[in-house]
């Protein structure tokens, strides 16, 4: 078990190094080092405080969503959330999203499917805010179709950005439809009824086999559907939906502000808060592409593309995106490890178990 996770960590590190090489292979190494040395790192502390505040609000938002499954205190949502994000930064496949409900199941006895549903509901708010910001970006900023950053098999350009944007919008619609189908009693009853009819499809089977199918397959499936519906109970409370949406606006506003604080200490990055917000949105859409743990490489390439739109030189863009990336994820990794120690969560065990789900 530990050997498998260890191999994943080693491979993840190796691929991350390769991804960084691909992102910076055209940037003179000496120039990059000189730029990183010229950054005023006094802005790191306030940026880190803002980053961690945004994650605290994420935990509080998740707590509101989780209330449908039971009485959850702030720290009971904060620690699994930070551990999940930390795992996303060090292991491939964004498995931290699944690790969170695994931890909830172990620590708070919340069914895995219910916890996973709450993570899905949380993602609806995040994706929804990003789609709104992306629409504003397209309406106010002209994206030069001639700018093309090659990263591995990807061409980061206007076409790729629009493709990812459309795919993200479709994902949002799919999530909303899925939530509606399961959360509404009438449609959920139809789903459960169809599940219970599965044994009838085996017309050639005897009564004993049909009963076995009913017990081993149908009843567990119906139970999963009901548990998922519990995770989506938020849809019945408009005030909670408004609270979660408002928190999401603040969360993403703080995320953009942390980018802006970092930019204040970076030479050559003289952009407004609105422009920095646009850069954050573009980076978020590009890192939606399949990538390595921590989004190393694809983040930097996407950041360079975004900064070039605002006339920033490729050297300054490369230095800023690398420094900002590190500042954005290292505190998350650090706090995630502390949360794992506080809650006595074995990260390797959880990572292994979520792969078995």
For residue 16, tell me if it sits in a domain: no
Q: Quote the domain boundaries for residue 301.
A: 2-7+43-356
Residue 1 confidence class, pLDDT cut points 50, 70, 90? very low
* For residue 31, pLDDT beyond 70: no
Which range has the worst mean pLDDT, 49-53, 141-145, 158-162, 258-262? 141-145
- Report whether pLDDT(199) > 60: yes
Average pLDDT over residues 310-339: 90
SS (H, E, C) 252-265: HHHHHHHHHHHHHC
Domain membership of residue 35 (yes or no) is no
Token pair, residue 140, equals 């106010």
Question: Lowest-pLDDT range, 223-237, 274-288, 325-339?
Answer: 223-237
Which range among 210-219, 251-260, 272-281 shows the weakest confidence by mean pLDDT? Answer: 210-219
Contact 43, 262 (CB under 8 A): yes
Angstrom distance (rounded) from CA 284 to CA 289: 9
Tokens of 167: 């795919």
- CA dist., res. 98 & res. 58, Å (int): 16
Provide the pLDDT for residue 133: 94
With cut-offs at 50, 70 and 90, classify the pLDDT of residue 6. Answer: low
- pLDDT over 90 (residue 128): yes
Closest by CA to 27, choosing from 244, 297, 260, is: 297
**Any domain includes 105:** yes
Write down the pLDDT at residue 211. 82
Specify which residues 151 forms β-bridges with. Answer: 154
Beta carbons within 10 angstroms of residue 137's beta carbon: 21
**DSSP 3-state helix, strand, coil percentages of the chain (rounded to 5)?**
80, 0, 20
Q: Tell me the pLDDT band of 87, cut-offs 50, 70 and 90.
A: confident
Residue 11 pLDDT: 56
List the structure tokens of 65.
Answer: 């969503």
Least confident of 58-62, 132-136, 195-199: 195-199
Please name which of 18, 26, 27, 59 lies closest in space to residue 251, comparing C-alpha atoms: 59
Percent of the chain with pLDDT over 70: 86
Contact of 285 with 165, CB cutoff 8 Å = yes
Tell me the C-alpha distance between 298 and 304, whole Å. Answer: 10
Give the DSSP letter of residue 235.
Answer: G
Q: How far apart are CA 190 and CA 182, in angstroms?
A: 10
* pLDDT on residue 216: 82
User: 88 in a domain, yes or no?
Assistant: yes
Overall number of domains in the chain: 1
Report the alpha-carbon distance of residue 279 to residue 10 in Å, rounded: 31
324 contacts 259 by C-beta, under 8 angstroms: yes
User: Which tens digits make up the pLDDT trace of 142-191?
Assistant: 888 999 888 778 888 999 999 999 999 999 999 888 888 888 888 888 88
Torsion of CA 197, 198, 202, 205, to 10 degrees: -80
Contact 294, 87 (CB under 8 A): no
Does residue 327 sit within a domain?
Answer: yes
From CA 256, how far away is CA 130, in angstroms rounded?
Answer: 12
With respect to residue 158, please indicate whether it lies within any of the assigned structural domains.
yes
The mean of the pLDDT values for the chain is: 84
- Strand bridging mode 154-156 / 149-151: antiparallel
> Per-residue b/e over 215-244, b at no fewer than 16 CB within 10 Å?
eeebeebbebbebbbbbbbbbeeeebbeeb
The per-residue pLDDT for 168 is: 92
Is the pLDDT assigned to residue 210 strictly greater than 80? no
Among 151-155, 225-229, 350-354, the range scoring the smallest mean pLDDT is 350-354
- On whether residue 34 sits in a domain, the answer given is no
Domain assignment of residue 32, yes or no? no
């Amino acid at each position: 078990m530990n050997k498998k996770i260890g191999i994943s960590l080693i491979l993840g590190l190796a691929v991350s190094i390769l991804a960084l090489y691909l992102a910076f292979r055209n940037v003179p190494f000496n120039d990059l080092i000189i730029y990183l040395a010229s950054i005023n790192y006094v802005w790191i502390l306030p940026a880190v405080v803002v980053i961690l505040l945004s994650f605290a609000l994420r935990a509080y938002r998740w707590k509101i969503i989780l209330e449908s499954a039971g009485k959850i205190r702030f720290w009971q949502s904060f620690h699994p959330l930070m551990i999940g994000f930390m795992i996303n930064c060090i292991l491939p496949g964004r498995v931290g999203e699944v690790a969170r409900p695994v931890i909830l199941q172990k620590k708070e006895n919340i069914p895995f499917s219910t916890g996973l549903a709450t993570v899905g509901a949380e993602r609806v708010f995040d994706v929804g805010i990003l789609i709104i910001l992306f629409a504003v970006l397209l309406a106010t900023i002209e994206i030069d179709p001639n700018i093309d950053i090659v990263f591995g098999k990807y061409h980061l350009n206007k076409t790729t950005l629009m493709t990812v944007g459309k795919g993200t919008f479709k994902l949002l619609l799919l999530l909303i439809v899925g939530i509606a189908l399961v959360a509404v009693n009438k449609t959920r009853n139809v789903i459960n009824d169809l599940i219970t009819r599965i044994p009838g499809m085996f017309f050639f089977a005897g009564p004993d086999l049909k009963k076995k199918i009913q017990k081993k397959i149908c009843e567990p499936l119906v139970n999963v559907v009901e548990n998922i519906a519990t995770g989506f109970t938020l849809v019945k409370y408009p005030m909670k939906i408004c609270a979660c949406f408002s928190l999401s606006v603040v969360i993403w506003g703080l995320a953009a502000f942390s980018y802006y604080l970092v930019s204040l200490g970076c030479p050559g990055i003289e952009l407004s808060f609105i422009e920095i917000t646009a850069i954050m949105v573009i980076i978020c859409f590009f890192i939606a592409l399949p990538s390595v743990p921590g989004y190393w490489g694809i983040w930097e390439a996407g950041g360079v593309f975004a900064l070039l739109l605002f006339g920033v030189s490729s050297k300054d863009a490369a230095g800023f995106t690398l420094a900002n990336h590190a500042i954005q994820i290292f505190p998350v990794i650090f706090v995630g490890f502390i949360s794992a120690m506080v809650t006595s969560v074995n990260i390797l065990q959880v990572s292994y178990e979520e792969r078995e789900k």
